[in-house]
Amino acid sequence: MPVNSRALLFLGVAVITGLGLGGWLRKIEASRSVASEMNPAKSALFKTQQLRMGKPNQMADIQIEVVGGFPNTNDQEATLRATVTLDRPFDGDVNFEWVLPPGVEHVAGELKDSVPGVQPGQSFTREIAVLGFSSEGMPRNVTLEVSGTARGSIVGSSSVISSHPTRSDLSLGFRPNKQMVDENRMQQKAMGSDDDEGEVRPTLPKGLKL
């Protein structure tokens, strides 16, 4: 792991655990001079959204993950967790609906519902448990549809998770490591995220226009 990745990771943990980050930063400042200007400080917390590669202007960003990883067999329960973050305002409630393909059986959790009062920048999370969504057999796609109205139009976003997600980007070979099959991590790898734990990815060209 690169040194600065470790620093970022540590800082992230510090925030989450409520450490006195401000004080820590000031401590660094006290010893600062021109010569030490490259010490990590405020800018160590920079993590620009611009490096994301999501659909531009989307209503909502949806990330689906399989909690605890993909089951090996279809008779094992899979827990799907969706995190929905609004990017643009809906007129009213935000509706969500899990769309299950044939062969995937609903066990628990709300398949569809409305969430009131969600504003841009805010997130909500929903989980369902299903059977028939595993690494076994044929691939199956589960979709989360988020919809509503905005200025009178029917609008929405969706996200698809496959029980056999693409294990490589198509520009590369197949990489048969099931532990890495996590859509969230795949997403974070786009465009040079610092979060990769040891995996070396090719560098995408700068300035991809979305």
Partner 1 sequence: MGFQAPQTAFWISRLASATALALSLAACGPAGTLIQNNSGGGASIRPEGTEKPYSSPVSVTGSYLRLQVQANFVRFNDDSNGGTRTGTGSSGNPYKQGLVTTETRPIRRAEAVVINNANENVVQAGHTDNLGQTDLQIPNVPGTYRIEIRSRADNTYLKASILDNPYDKNYYRLYRNFTITSGVPSGTIVGVLGGAIVAPHNGASEGGAFNILDNILIANDYLRTHVQVNDNAGTADYCPSSICNVNFTVAPKVQVYWTKGLSPAAYYGSPSSAISFFASSSGGGIYTGLYILGGIEGSVCADTDHFDNSVILHEYGHFLEHVYATSDSPGGSHNGNKIIDPRLAWSEGWANFFQAVALGRPFYRDTQRNAECPALYSSGTASYYTARLSFTDFDMEVQQGTQDAPSLTGEGNFREISVSRVLWDSITGGTQSAPYGSAGNTDGTAADLGFAVIWNAFTSLTSSSISARSVGHLHSSLFTMLTTMGSSYLNAWRDDSYADSSKPLVREKQHRDVRDFALPLTPQSVAHGSCVANPNLANYTQPDWIFTSTGPKRDTTNSQGYIDWSDLFNTNDVYRYYYDGSANRRYVRLFYKKLVGDSSGITNPWDLDVYVYNEGFVFMNSSDIVKKSERDYPEAVISGHALPATYTGSEVIDFSGLSPGFYYLNVKAYFVGSTAPVRAGAQYYLENGNGDQLCP
6, 52, 75, 122: which one binds partner 1 (CB under 8 A): 52
Sign of torsion over alpha carbons 194, 63, 49, 122: negative
Instruction: Using the rule CB under 8 A, give the single segment among 8-16, 65-73, 74-82, 126-134 that binds partner 1.
Output: 8-16
58, 109, 129, 131: which one binds partner 1 (CB under 8 A): 58
Cα dihedral angle (125, 128, 132, 134), rounded to 10 degrees? 30
3, 23, 35, 102: which one binds partner 1 (CB under 8 A): 35
20: contact with partner 1 by CB under 8 A: no
From the list 204, 184, 198, 189, the residue with the least C-alpha distance to 69 is: 184
Site for partner 1 in 126-165 (CB under 8 A): 135, 139, 141, 143, 145, 147-162, 164-165
| Contact indicator for 104, 144 with CB cutoff of 8 Å | no
**x-or-dash pattern for partner 1, window 66-105, by CB under 8 A?**
---------------------xxxxxxxxx-x-x------
Report the alpha-carbon distance of residue 45 to residue 40 in Å, rounded. 9
177: contact with partner 1 by CB under 8 A: yes
How many binding residues for partner 1 (CB under 8 A)?
A: 112
77, 109, 127, 169: which one binds partner 1 (CB under 8 A): 169
27: contact with partner 1 by CB under 8 A: no
| Contact indicator for 59, 118 with CB cutoff of 8 Å | no
1, 51, 67, 107: which one binds partner 1 (CB under 8 A): 51
Report the alpha-carbon distance of residue 51 to residue 103 in Å, rounded. 37
77, 106, 182, 189: which one binds partner 1 (CB under 8 A): 189
Q: How far is the CB of 175 from partner 1 (least distance, A)?
A: 5
Residue with tokens 């040194």: 3
Residue with tokens 């929405």: 156
Helix/strand/coil for 176: coil
